[in-house]
Structure 1
Amino acid sequence: MVHEWFGATGGSENVFLSLREVLPDAKGFVLWRDRDARRGLDLEESWLARTPARRSKVLALPLMPLAWRTLTRQRFDVVISSSHAFAHTVKLRSSPEARYLSYIHSPARYLWSPDFDGRGSHGMLALPRALLRAADVRLSRHVDSYAANSREVQSRIQRFWGRDARIIHPPVDVDYFAAAPEAQRRQSRTYLLGVGRWIPYKRFDLMIDIADAAGFPLVIAGSGPEEDALRRRAAAVRVPVTFEVQPSRDRLRELYWGASCLLFPTHEDFGIIPVEAMACGTPVVGLRRGGVMETVHDGETGFLVDSDEPRRYAAALRHVDGLDRTQIQARASRFATSVFQEKVAVWVSDETS
């Protein structure tokens, strides 16, 4: 099994760890692993880990396809990649008969969707982006089967690579978030909540405007480079905005249980955060785009808004108290880790038997 790079455990890393639990004896490979990555994992690094490129994904990007073609001389029957950049292009010369399966978090957004991910949008990057796109398609023709984490990503795989993919939603630890202490279950839900990395496309600026328009206090949990700008924006509105910087997992669960609603006005590939919130019985008010359309049932487990206008979200927020929180939790259970692993096991069996 291969994964791009292994950093401090986030969404794609958690998926990779869950994949490995399905086939615990599989060898694990990564381009490199960060020093703060979870210890005790048996992962072999590529030669890129011994170069300065490991410190800069921009420098490493053109070298990644070569690294995946020269990863190891060991022989394998099946190679499963967890890919959001070039891991799906892995091909081992030592294993000419191997079957290649790839779980796609998204085709590299800075290559294929620069309007969505600004890291690749600069005009001077047009030619390098075109060359890397061509390489991305050419070097992945050998993949025998793709799985996508959502309909959104399935559509991109078809559009960008001309390939079909089955959908296997990523694993969410719904049991952990649903099993809140009794004291948390009884607490009143008194604020709106935003969770995630504080970067522009996550739209925490819009969350602040929504809370202001609705007249509700807001809690923002996470961290990121937009913190100073968000604090300045929060200081200019009429409602209280509280920042929870890098909350622990236990603290995040407390925040979900104490929120009247999770705000999610962003276009995500899938979106694990809304499912975590729903596991706590917390409804979601989000943008009618991307993966949230597969997790939130409009009018039952939350509300979806086809707009960036804060007043539209504020209008939806007036109705969240009427939703059945037991039904919201039941919806979240469909995305449990056990469901993911069962579907992965069937996928691997179908493609290798």
Structure 2
Amino acid sequence: MTRTVITAEWLSALGGSERVVEHLAAALPAARVFTPCAFHGGAPTIPRDRIDAAFRRPERLMDRREVAAVMNAATWPVWGRRLDRSADLVLASHHMASHWTAVYSDVPHLAYVHTPARYAWFPELDSRASGSLAARALGAHIRRMDRRAAPRVVSYAANSEATRQRIAQVWDRDARVIHPPTDLSRFEGATPTPGVEPYLLGLSRFIPYKRLDFVIDVAEAAGMPAVLVGSGHLEGMLRARAAEATVPVRIVTDASDAEVVRLLADATALVYPAVEDFGLVPVEAMAAGTPVLALDVAGTKETVRDGVSGYLLTELDAAAWAERVAAVDRLDPEAVRRRGHDFGVPAFHRQVEAWIAEETG
């Protein structure tokens, strides 16, 4: 039997990449999962005895991405050198560093890529690695390690066509596209709660490129309350912005999975201004029957059908987005829901299994 290891940068409680790791682990039930950092409540569907973590409960240390990167950089060389004795195949779930074990190991590597690290390779999309000296050093280290790892990976899969193009641009490697899975069972029977006041929803980590402050701008332009759900180091800024807003803005940082489903189903629309390589949250919103407002670029351009499951806009103009908010009641909720169901778990499992079989058979 092939001894397979799944690698991931970290397992936190909220995040699309962590959910993909859970589905990879479900598709490969005998595989162990290695991560430098395992948060409390991260990837809850993976049994704890399947997870090898260098650091458990690192919440306080992970407030700054530079620290997270140091923890990753310190761990991958040690783990990579162990792989030759403990694995026959590595499947990396990559958005920052997890394919780096290929630098230190002769074990065949496949990598499912959520994105080449945007703050290192595409600072115009995410400026976090262009500020302090430490952040710039982090970006340079990521680029250096990626260049060393990319030629040693047997095969790449990308979560979207946009990611496939970025892999070709920065690593000079081709990739097949396998869209991430959405656990549609979570949304069975999800319908709006009668009598709920209309509101716009923003759901993501509280970090700069997610642009949750723009969700408040759109809510103000539309004259509608907003709910922001997530967590992250911009929480203080968002709370200050919410306190100054001309419409009610509620910030939720501790929502359970069931509460997230309810908030998605009850929302008038999901406002999603981030430039994402795929973006699971818009797919989840559609699966709940909720229209999505997003940019006509990258991942959302592939997932949201303009005029069917939401609206795509060309720029961050709050007034233009507010006009589309007024038009969402023209959309058929069942058509919205069907579009979300195009990205289900069974299709993902089949494609991952076929990819592995083709590259290792």
Q: Is the Cα–Cα contact under 8 Å of residues 68 and 87 in structure 1 kept in the other structure?
A: no
Task: Provide, for residues 11-63 of structure 1, a one-character-per-residue CA deviation record: whole Å limited to 9, x for no partner.
Answer: 222211211211211233223433554463412345x88x9xx8632433543
Match of 1:255 in 2: 263
What is the aligned partner in structure 2 of residue 81 from structure 1? 92
Alignment coverage as a number of residue pairs? 346
> Residue 111 of structure 2: SS of its match in structure 1?
strand
Partner letter of residue 287 of structure 2?
Answer: A
Paired residues of 1:146 and 1:166 also in contact (CA < 8 A): yes
Question: Aligned pair 1:347/2:355, yes or no?
Answer: yes
Q: 1:288 to 1:172 in 2, by over 3 A?
A: same
Question: How far apart are 1:229 and its partner, in Å?
Answer: 2.2
User: Structure 1 residues 70, 226: CA separation in 2 closer, same or farther (over 3 Å shift)?
Assistant: same
1:24 aligns with 2:24: no
**8 Å Cα contact 1:71-1:92 kept in structure 2:** no
* Conservation of the 8 A alpha-carbon contact between 1:101 and 1:144: yes
Residue pairs, 1:232-243, within 5 angstroms: 232-243=240-251
Contact 2:184–2:287 (CA under 8 A) maintained in structure 1? yes
Per the alignment, residue 146 of structure 1 pairs with 156
**What is aligned with 1:217?**
225
- The separation in 2 between residues aligned to 1:201 and 1:83, in whole angstroms, is 19
**Structure with max Cα Rg:** 1
Letter in 2 for 1:86: A
Counterparts in 2 of 1:120-139, with a 5 A limit?
A: 120-122=129-131, 124=133, 126=136, 129-139=139-149
Does structure 2 conserve the Cα–Cα contact (< 8 Å) formed by 1:192 and 1:216?
yes
CA distance in 1 between partners of 2:271 and 2:314 (Å): 14
Q: Which residue of 2 aligns with 1:304?
A: 312
CA drift at 1:189: 6.3
**Which of the numbers 315, 321, 329 marks the counterpart of 2:329?**
321
Residue 318 (structure 1) shift: 1.8
Deviation at 1:107, TM superposition (A): 1.2
Contact 2:77–2:104 (CA<8 Å) still a contact in 1? no
Matched, 1:295 2:306: no
Report the TM-score, using the length of structure 1 for normalisation: 0.88
Query: Given the alignment of the two structures, is residue 11 of structure 1 paired with residue 16 of structure 2, yes or no?
Result: yes
Helix, strand or coil: the match of 2:34?
Answer: strand
Q: TM-score, normalised by structure 2?
A: 0.87
Q: Does 1:112 align with 2:121?
A: yes
Q: How many angstroms apart in 2 are the aligned matches of 1:345 and 1:171?
A: 14
Q: CA deviation at 1:153?
A: 1.1
1:241-270 deviation line (CA, Å, top 9, x unaligned): 222232111111111121111111111121
Q: Which runs of 5+ in 1 are unaligned?
A: none
The Cα RMSD (Å) is 2.6
Partner Cα distance (2:142, 2:270) in 1: 37
Q: Distance in 2 between matches of 1:93 and 1:267?
A: 33
Residue aligning to 1:178: 188
Sequence identity of aligned pairs in percent?
A: 37
| 1:126-146 deviations in Å (ceiling 9; x for gaps) | 566345413321233121110
Q: 1:63 aligns with which of 66, 74, 90?
A: 74
Shift of 1:275: 1.0
Q: For 1:317 and 1:15, locate their aligned partners in 2 and report how far apart those are by CA, in whole Å.
A: 30
The one-character-per-residue Cα deviations of 1:165-213 (angstroms, maximum 9, x if unpaired) are: 0111111112212332x6x465556211111222222111111111111
**Counterpart code for 1:30:** T
Give the secondary structure class of the aligned counterpart of 2:270.
Answer: strand
When residues 103 and 229 of structure 1 are mapped into structure 2, their CA distance, relative to the original with a 3 A threshold, is same
* Amino acid aligned to 2:248: P
Contact 2:272 2:293 (C-alpha < 8 Å) held by counterparts: yes
Structure 1 residues 29 and 321 mapped into 2: Cα distance closer, same or farther (>3 Å)? same
Q: Would the alpha carbon gap of residues 45 and 195 (structure 1) be closer, same or farther in structure 2, given more than 3 Å must change?
A: closer
- Structure 1 window deviating more from structure 2 (205-214 vs 193-202): it is 193-202
Instruction: Report SS of the residue matched to 1:338.
Output: helix
CA distance in structure 1 between the partners assigned to 2:224 and 2:272 by the alignment: 15
One-letter amino acid of the structure 2 residue matched with residue 163 of structure 1: R
**Deviation at 1:344?**
0.6
Between the aligned partners of 2:26 and 2:137, the Cα distance in structure 1 is: 40
- Cα 1:158–1:186 shift into 2, 3 Å: same
**How far apart in 1 are the matches of 2:350 and 2:130?**
38
Alpha-carbon offset, residue 157 of structure 1: 0.5
- Paired residues of 1:115 and 1:121 also in contact (CA < 8 A): no
Asked whether the 8 Å contact 2:129–2:139 carries over to 1, the reply is yes
Contact 1:70 1:92 in 2 (8 A): no
Contact 1:147 1:168 in 2 (8 A): yes
Instruction: State the shift of 1:285 in Å.
Output: 0.8
Shift in Å, 1:328 = 0.7
Q: 1:113 to 1:67 in 2, by over 3 A?
A: farther
Confirm or deny: 8 A CA contact 1:187 1:258 kept in the other structure.
Answer: no
Q: Which runs of 5+ in 2 are unaligned?
A: 1-5
Matched, 1:102 2:102: no
Matched AA of 2:244? A
- Matched residue of 2:282: which SS? helix
